[in-house]
Amino acid sequence: MHAMQLRRPGEPLIHTQMPDPEPGRGEVRLRVSACGVCRTDLHVVDGELPDPKLPVIPGHEIVGKIDAVGTGVEALRIGIRVGVPWLGSTCGVCAYCARDQENLCDRPLFTGYTRDGGYATHVVADARFVFPLPPDGDDVATAPLLCAGLIGWRSLRIAGEGRKLGLYGFGAAAHIIAQVARWQGRDVFAFTRPGDVAGQDFARKLGAGWAGASDAPPPEPLDCAIIFAPVGALVPAALKAVRKGGRVVCAGIHMSDIPSFPYRLLWEERQVVSVANLTRQDGKEFFDIAGEAGIVTETVRYDLAQANEALGDLRSGRLQGAAVLVP
Ligand SMILES: [Zn+2]
Ligand SMILES: [Zn+2]
């Protein structure tokens, strides 16, 4: 198989050829047809997340067809179209797994971080954590749903039922979740980097009723806000934008430090919470509504060998929508 491999954080990925991996007990192997590029991949590559498996093949928005099945796998067979998400496996026995919080498992494995991911022609996955997908569908368009969509969905659920929703950072996740929120009948307020007029136009095109700079106040107080950009200074900005009792959800796995801010921004029962990982239940719910909500993803396609360019474009903010690698 071919893969783009991270040998050392901070260095470019290296195009590598290696023997096809064999699925072990309870595992399946996919022939990868598309793999989205998530901001978390950047955090892995840049060394902002501790203790990756090294070398590691990044990528956790994987769509492909099963081409080999390990022993003990009953529910999946060769030829099925599936998606592989960030949550690669859990221990199944810790206190979090026991109370339906498998996203917080004490001994998890994460695809493209602590087990090999989808920047490759083939990937092996734990069969229990793979999502079956409809047999026909656009693989490139589907890939971003596997993380930007799923984590975005979990974030939206945790933001609560508020009608006026702010989205900070209008990248891959926000462009999907804006569509879901509009479908639910919410009003979307999109915040981008100051001066990012193209990003603001893009947000309005996807249904945002207002789009502006992240340092500007919204035209009216928000019920809730989700921060997708990895920028800690957005936490006090979002707290300023939400009403009394409003909630601010931090959806990223990594963020720059949050600057100190006056207590009055949190006062009046405003809340700041974070969202970590996903559960299989989140995935099931999200894929149930994804079709109904009519989500259309905007993607920029790169060859597998161009993974470093895709990561560079994401890092610089040049991308609109989601980058997807095609092997
Ligand atoms: Zn566990
Ligand atoms: Zn991700």
Q: Per residue in 171-187, pLDDT tens?
A: 999 999 999 999 999 99
Instruction: Report, as an integer, the average pLDDT of 260-275.
Output: 98
Instruction: Report, as an integer, the average pLDDT of 125-142.
Output: 96
Ligand closest to the CA atom of residue 62? 2
Give the pLDDT score at 320.
85
Task: Indicate the pLDDT class of residue 150, thresholds 50, 70 and 90.
Answer: very high
Ligand closest to the CA atom of residue 91? 1
User: Which letter does DSSP use for residue 281 in this model?
Assistant: H
Give the pLDDT score at 321.
86
Spell out which residues have Cβ within 5 A of ligand 1, the ion. 90-91, 94, 97, 105
Taking 90 as the threshold, does the pLDDT of residue 169 lie above it?
A: yes
How much distance in Å is there from the Cα of 45 to the middle of ligand 1?
26
How much distance in Å is there from the Cα of 110 to the middle of ligand 1?
13
Of 30-34, 101-105, 290-294, where does mean pLDDT reach its minimum?
290-294
| Alpha helices per DSSP H over the chain | 39-45, 95-98, 139-142, 148-159, 172-183, 197-205, 234-241, 280-292, 307-316
Q: What is the pLDDT of residues 225-248, one digit of tens each?
A: 999 999 999 999 999 999 999 999
Q: What is the pLDDT of residues 204-215, one digit of tens each?
A: 999 999 999 999
Mean pLDDT of the chain: 96
Instruction: Report, as an integer, the average pLDDT of 117-141.
Output: 96
Instruction: Report, as an integer, the average pLDDT of 95-123.
Output: 97
SS3 78: coil
Q: Can you tell me the distance from the alpha carbon of 112 to that of 147, in angstroms, rounded to the nearest whole number?
A: 12
Instruction: Report, as an integer, the average pLDDT of 22-46.
Output: 97
Quickly count helices (H) and strands (E) in the chain: 9, 17
- Position with higher pLDDT, 5 vs 319: 5
How much distance in Å is there from the Cα of 144 to the middle of ligand 2?
9
Instruction: Report, as an integer, the average pLDDT of 181-194.
Output: 97
Taking 90 as the threshold, does the pLDDT of residue 317 lie above it?
A: no
Give the pLDDT score at 28.
98
Give the pLDDT score at 319.
87
How much distance in Å is there from the Cα of 172 to the middle of ligand 2?
10
Is 259 exposed, middle or buried (CB count within 10 Å of its CB: 0-12, 13-18, 19+)?
A: exposed
Instruction: Report, as an integer, the average pLDDT of 85-91.
Output: 97
SS3 51: coil
Ligand closest to the CA atom of residue 252? 2
Ligand closest to the CA atom of residue 99? 1
How much distance in Å is there from the Cα of 257 to the middle of ligand 2?
20
Give the pLDDT score at 146.
97
List Cβ neighbours of 20 (8 Å cut-off, separation of 6 or more): 1, 29, 122
Task: Indicate the pLDDT class of residue 318, thresholds 50, 70 and 90.
Answer: confident
